[in-house]
Amino acid sequence: MLALVTIEEGVGCVFVQINCDDYNDCTVDSCDYSVGCVYTQYDCDDYNVCTTDTCGSEGCIHTPYVCDDYDECTEDTCDHVSGCAYTPKDCNDDDACTDDSCEKNSGCQYEKVICSDYDACTNDACNPAAGCTFTQICCDDGDSCTHDYCDIVEGCYHHDVECDDCNECTIDSCNPATGCEYDYVDCTDDDLCTQEGCDPTLGCVSTPVLCIADDACSTAACDPEVGCSAGTVSCCDGDACTVDGCDPNTGCYHTPVDCNDYNPCTDDYCSADSGCWYEPNNELDACEEGWCDSWYGWITWPKDCSDYNACTTDYCDPSAEDVCQHQAICCDDGNPCTTDSCDPYWGCTNLWDVYCENEDSCHWGYCDPEQGGCVQWDLNEYCTSYDEYYAPCLTSGCDPLGAGCWSVWEACEDYNACTYDYCEVGIGCVHTPITFNEDKCNECYIETCDPETGVQYTYRNCDDGDVCTYDYCDNNWGCVNYAYSCDDWSVCTIDSCDPVLGCTYEYIPCEDDDACTYDYCNYWYGCTHDPIWCDDWNPCTVDSCDPASGCVHTPAICEDYNECTTDRCCPINGCINTQVDCDDWDACTDDYCYADWGCIYYPVVCDDGNVCTVDRCDPNNGCVYVESECICDDHNTCTTEYCDPLEGCVFINLNCDDDNPNTSDWCDNVAGCIHEEFIYVPPEEGY
């Protein structure tokens, strides 16, 4: 310790201690006995790289260092040993219904996932826990008169049930509660000259009553009110379609000329004037195509009206001038945020590409289907959202006519070129003397200081000229060039990045060159090839699919090679082989049908084994056995006749003997017995 030495009279040497206090809190004041007062600069280093250490009027000042990299995608912190750290933010909101990403300027972004499996037969929704769900829809309309099914493109179809049972003897209708109903047709015509019946193919059939006269060569007529009545025979009907004649036993006959050419492709006719003639038939309607086979008849199939345009519903209308009709489908999905259009190959497309123009720089336009289209998001609150957090250092606002959001950071300029002037959040302006050293904590700045111009901070340019990298500067490591992710989370695109153009998305082609599949790309599962629906709901066609041309509807062959059936196809029941009715309404024939030949008619044999009856056949009543008194009459009065059932006619000569010797008895075939007296003539004299 140093002392000021003085000599006082009467006392001697006096040693007064020297005061080395320089009144500077930034020095440690001491006294060295050899040199005197020593003022050592106080070491304010707190060994914390997260503070700027200075000394002021109140002693050491440890100003916290602001680790802000101006990136909303990082959490900025400072470690007292390693310094600033910028940890990427975790933007995962644990919601499977959002695509989570981060934008440098705005922070975490959550874009709603669009759940569409491009299948009109499912309800598409999103579950925050499980993601997209696709629930099968129910197309049952509760109507028994419709076939209900679902098409993956168009959705529910309700196809009318075809109740036609191809039976002309029923009235067909449909009850929505119970389905098809069939009521029998009443064929009664109140005509005594007809026998009524119903044929499944022809409908009501009235067969004329055959009136037979008792006389072999007489005719009979029929009156609708009274029935059969007799008339005079005329065997000439003046009809070139019959061979006319009269048989003494059976009367007139008119044998129909057989005009059948056994060709189902012709309609066979007979003209009373000219006889048989044949006209080619055409059973096709405007909505059928086909050809006629001389053995099988008409083979038909529905007319193909497909225009191979996915934007139309194709059908055939036989009443229209142009039977093939192509009705445009409606692609409006009811979403004002999509552009709806139709591609002739793919069908309906609904692109979410509506652009909503910003009202001004303080409003951001976007499209919201729930609000009816374009809406404006007011940015004023967003632009000033950081003012309170950074108070009192930040003043913000929004300029609707300028660049939008603006913010002004408190300059804190003290006009001292060699101080670091800044505003500390929560504190205000801080003016720190600028120091430069090689162990600086921020590698992103090149720092210089000029006595006149002050500190110069040159920020490192980390742009590597590659748009596929996210370029920024890390305070500890310097420039960082982080590869940008172009993943759009869709398996339908090949995602890549071009150093010049940026992210590119190339759609995966799903066309399998198979006309039997509907090809598209599912957002989650990739290329999907769903079989197309070729069922035309017509049991009269065999439905198949050709990979080259698409649906094929081949006419069903209903031929059972049985001449005892009529073969045809009904659109509701399919093949129908109706038994041929061989009844010719003639009691004088036995009617049979053979699969190889068809109807065969054998004449009924009306022999009752009794030679004493006249056996004949009545077409209405069958065999008739008439006992006639005249059957054995030989028109000879000289015989007595009778009929023996086994022997037949027996003729007994009449005995004309009158037991009178004076008569000559004999019989005349006409007059009968003659008894002629003998006349006695005496001999002449002389004899």
How far, rounded to the nearest angstrom, does the alpha carbon of residue 327 sit from its chain's CA centroid? 16
* Structure tokens that stand for 675 in this block: 């008894």
Q: Check residues 149 and 123 and name the one with the higher pLDDT.
A: 123
101-125, pLDDT tens digit by residue? 888 888 888 888 888 777 788 888 8
9 inside domain? yes
Q: Distance between CA atoms of 270 and 453, rounded to whole angstroms?
A: 125
pLDDT at 2: 46
Whether 168 contacts 199, CB under 8 Å? yes
Question: How high is the pLDDT of residue 683?
Answer: 59
Residue 310 belongs to a domain: no
Residue 388: is its pLDDT beyond 80?
A: no
Residue of 53, 23, 30 lying closest to 432 (CA atoms): 53
Q: What angle do CA 682, 685, 687 make, to 5 degrees?
A: 90
Confidence of residue 553 (pLDDT cuts 50, 70, 90): very high
Same domain? 19 vs 34: yes
Answer yes or no: is 660 within a domain. yes
Distance CA 356, CA 368 (A): 10
Give residue-wise pLDDT tens across range 413-430.
888 777 777 888 888 888
On whether both 620 and 638 belong to a single domain, the answer is no
* Exposed e or buried b per residue across 641-654, where buried means at least 16 C-beta atoms within 10 angstroms of its C-beta: eebeeeeeeeeeee
Tell me the pairing of strands 454-459 and 445-450: antiparallel
* 421/430 Cα distance (integer angstroms): 6
| pLDDT for 1 | 43
Q: Is residue 336 part of a domain?
A: no
pLDDT in tens, 627-659: 766 667 777 788 888 888 787 788 888 888 888
pLDDT surpassing 70 at residue 537? yes
End-to-end CA distance of the chain: 247
Condensed to tens digits (0 to 9), the pLDDT of residues 294-303 reads: 777 778 888 8
Q: What letter would DSSP give residue 371?
A: G
Across the range 613-631, mean pLDDT stands at 79
Whats the size of the chain, residue-wise?
687
Contact 253, 212 (CB under 8 A): no
Question: What's the rounded mean pLDDT across residues 591-610?
Answer: 90
Q: Are 672 and 640 in contact (CB under 8 A)?
A: no
| Cβ-contact 580, 546 below 8 angstroms | no
Region 341-365: mean pLDDT is: 85
> How many domains would you assign to the chain?
3
Domain membership flag for residue 42 = yes
Mean of pLDDT values over 162-180:
83
Residue 266 placed within a domain: no
Confidence of residue 395 (pLDDT cuts 50, 70, 90): confident
Tokens matching residue 193: 């000259």
Predicted pLDDT of residue 298: 79
Between CA 25 and CA 57 the distance in angstroms is 6
Task: Pick the closest to residue 527 from 560, 559, 491 (CA basis).
Answer: 491
* pLDDT of 592 strictly over 90: yes
Q: How confident is the model at residue 516 (pLDDT cuts 50, 70, 90)?
A: very high
User: Which band of pLDDT confidence, cut at 50, 70 and 90, is reported for residue 470?
Assistant: confident
Q: Report how far residue 88's alpha carbon sits from residue 72's, in angstroms, rounded to the nearest whole number.
A: 9
pTM value > 0.75: no
Give 628's contacts (C-beta < 8 A, 6+ positions apart).
613, 614
Confirm whether 344 is domain-assigned. Answer: no
In the chain, the percentage of residues whose pLDDT exceeds 70 is: 93
pLDDT (tens digit per residue) in 191-250? 878 877 787 777 888 778 777 666 667 667 788 887 777 666 666 777 878 877 777 677
- The label of the residue with tokens 């980390």 reads 462
Query: Would you state the pLDDT for residue 234?
Result: 67
Q: Are residues 609 and 596 in the same domain?
A: yes
Domain end (from 60, 78, 105): 60
Question: Quick check: 550 pLDDT over 80?
Answer: yes
- Per the prediction, the chain carries an average pLDDT of 81
User: Is there a single domain that holds both residue 684 and residue 634?
Assistant: yes
Range of the domain at 588: 582-627
Domain edge (last residue) among 12, 44, 60: 60
Residues 650 and 623 in one domain: no
Same domain for 644 and 593, yes or no, is: no
For the ranges 372-381, 445-454, 591-600, the one whose mean pLDDT is highest: 591-600
- Report, as an integer, the average pLDDT of 461-478: 84
The continuous run of DSSP H or E covering 383 comes out as helix 380-383
Nearest of 179, 111, 103 to residue 148 by alpha carbon: 179
Domain end marker among 60, 77, 92 = 60
pLDDT at residue number 630 = 61
Same domain, 586 and 638: no
Residue 102 lies in a domain: no
Mean pLDDT of 450-477: 81
- Cis before 392? omega within 30: yes
